[in-house]
Structure 1
């Protein structure tokens, strides 16, 4: 049996490594994207709180400072450039406005346009100036409600600060993603090396040899796979041995009658007297029947294999099968002077293939008729075993008949040297999970062959 042909080079098979890598990276990107989104939102939220807290802190600080003069114009305090500070050093853009209780301006510093006075306190977004620029503000009265302080920051700068903080939080993730992806790919490749080795060893196996998978694949995940492959190889080897032996035996069994037919046919072409010619023709007929019997056995083997593959087991009345077989062979037994007796209960249901069980019963009875002298007593027996299974056996006293009458017809007949009938019965037993072989013969019988079937839960039809 040759190894399976490799897949076509033009057909690209899906890769398990690529599949695992894609799924792992997809899950990683999904989780990473979720964390980036949450981190960005958290950064924006924390920056907003930081800015609002800063505005409130500056307002509380300024309430403790006294303004002695009423301010007439905004005062902008210049600040020395500090390039070493970050670009979002927003403190230099804070604007401060102070009023007294009557709403008179006490102090105004910063670049914010002058807001309108109101008694409201707390945070607010204000659109100031001709261009309507939005400012974030916090205003607060002192304890005596004599002065009110408002601190303002342009909303754009606050958003830029929030974005900067959020980007600083997600930036490590942007650099980490490709590094983790590369490390994940290397880890998957390294972790799947045993699978690559197993695949290579399986591809290198030769079904025709006795090679087996090595024990170096003793990973717990591979135990069942390696054991199954080795079991399949053992079964294939056993099947190949049986098929080779069967082929050799079939060739030998057919060679004898075919050679005899050819020899007798050649003799018919010569000068033979009437008796010799009649003997040659009779011998040709016998050899043709023998060859036909071998071919029938081979067909039965083929039907057994086909039934194993394509037919499901069903409830079968083994007693009904035995009764039908006995009825079919009754005429042939009567013509030989034999008698067939059936010993069986009314019904005995088993789970199996009715076709195969019929073939098995017919082979047992046919072998008893074919390889025993005339006048043989044949018994077909069916019964239930102690374990809940069933058995069918055929017994005969053919050996005793040969001893009592050595000249009886059938003694010199060629036996089925290949035991093709027994090979069929063994095949049927294997398909049903049972056993076949010789059984102890109870006198007056001298030979018994028995088919044992395992117990099974069977629900009879109807």
Structure 2
């Protein structure tokens, strides 16, 4: 079954890169346009000042008096350059009389300030950029004018020339970035194909080497996950086969005892058949309970995170719950612990394992047995010990029958929980004074 298709990582990266690029590009365009306008303004102001410096030595002899060229008579055919502007010149004497005038600009006031100024001239008023100066003897005053409209057109033209490369550069860069990102993500797509081709049933790993550290870390994580999954799957298969074998016997016995109870006449035979029927039902129920416990342990191994646990508090709670049952069966249940026993694990599973050990000890020892839960934080060990061998009867005396089914499956649950916590399970360890113990030893730290 194909996985649900999500957003494309290539398009996601390209969108972020292009977003950053557009932001930088827009900033560049804005500053470029502003810089172009400033340079155009400085260019036209310099042009006005240059014209005034050129014409002032010729005043008043070199200028034709009172020559005014209206716009309709301007020699536009001579404007062969984009940056050529229509300049107007006005020359006054020291008394304010116009000595010479050329261009289509309205006559500016004689009292206009020296230097650069923007004047409102004509009817209706229009802005004109002007530069005014006196000669060295202050006998003549010269004003050079340029229409603000032409000045703005020149600024817009220069600014446009500055930003024009950015207008076609953005799509080119976007295309190149898209191709580069698509090519750069090829190893990731190849890795995804290898992951899809994995067969977890056969513990297949990704064997092809990768050149990049980031992908190598992902490959290691995937291979470790495959190992864990295959190991868990192998254990579950073995346990399922064992449970199927163990469950087959009580189920077959249930059917047989049910038929015997139905066909037997009222009396001891029927009561015996009903008793066996009840016993087989309990055995089948216990197998199912252990199966559910192992399923819970497997789920915790794959999905749940470990958390801090105090085995001392956990053991006290379990012992307090089983103490009345132990006393009623003629056995004593106690706890030997020096204090807190902290570790990192799954409290539900640890409690399940301890309950199995305590329950097995109480169910398979004779009356008068002392059962004790012993904790040793220094040795990182938890054990359930009993002195049942001291209370065993003579060889010919009947003893409570052991039930291999319950002992075997219960211990498999304990082994599973111990392995999940990086611990080892040691069954039936011989202790001094004819005692024996079932021990879980945790790794140091």
* Residue of structure 2 aligned with 1:25, choices 15, 18, 26: 18
Q: Which moved more, 1:344-353 or 1:236-245?
A: 344-353
Q: Deviations over 1:28-68 (max 9, x none)?
A: 11110111011001100110011111111211222222423
Task: State the match for 1:236 in structure 2.
Answer: 229
Unaligned runs of 5+ in 2: none
How much does 1:182 deviate?
A: 0.3
Q: Deviations over 1:269-291 (max 9, x none)?
A: 8899x998787666555544433
Contact 1:344 1:383 in 2 (8 A): yes
* Residue of structure 1 aligned with 2:323, choices 321, 324, 327: 327
Contact 2:357 2:410 in 1 (8 A): yes
Contact 2:385 2:435 in 1 (8 A): no
Q: Deviations over 1:199-233 (max 9, x none)?
A: 22223333323112234345211233222222221
Evaluate the alpha carbon distance shift between residue 260 and residue 135 of structure 1 in structure 2; reply closer, same or farther with a 3 A threshold: closer
Q: Deviations over 1:124-183 (max 9, x none)?
A: 223334453432111110111111111111221111111110000011111111100100
Note the 1:24-423 alignment, pairs <5 A. Answer: 24-68=17-61, 71-74=64-67, 81=77, 85-90=80-85, 93-118=86-111, 120-263=113-256, 284=277, 286-302=279-295, 309=304, 315=310, 317-321=313-317, 323-324=319-320, 327-331=323-327, 333-334=329-330, 339-340=331-332, 342=334, 344-345=336-337, 347-350=339-342, 355-370=348-363, 374=366, 377=369, 379-386=371-378, 389=380, 391-396=382-387, 398=389, 405=395, 408-409=398-399, 413=402, 415-416=404-405, 419-423=408-412
Using structure 1 for the length normalisation, give the TM-score: 0.80
Whole-Å separation in 1 of the counterparts to 2:305 and 2:32: 62
Whole-Å separation in 2 of the counterparts to 1:222 and 1:395: 54
> What SS is found at the alignment partner of 1:216?
coil
> What SS is found at the alignment partner of 2:200?
coil
Whole-Å separation in 1 of the counterparts to 2:17 and 2:68: 60
Contact 1:393 1:451 in 2 (8 A): no
Q: Which moved more, 1:206-215 or 1:168-177?
A: 206-215
User: What is the CA RMSD across the aligned residues, in angstroms?
Assistant: 3.8
Unaligned runs of 5+ in 1: 457-462
Q: Which moved more, 1:70-79 or 1:33-42?
A: 70-79
> What SS is found at the alignment partner of 2:57?
coil
Q: Deviations over 1:380-402 (max 9, x none)?
A: 24122326x45233345559969
Evaluate the alpha carbon distance shift between residue 447 and residue 416 of structure 1 in structure 2; reply closer, same or farther with a 3 A threshold: farther
Whole-Å separation in 2 of the counterparts to 1:186 and 1:130: 60
Using structure 2 for the length normalisation, give the TM-score: 0.83
Q: Which moved more, 1:25-34 or 1:202-211?
A: 202-211
Whole-Å separation in 1 of the counterparts to 2:189 and 2:77: 64
Evaluate the alpha carbon distance shift between residue 150 and residue 221 of structure 1 in structure 2; reply closer, same or farther with a 3 A threshold: same
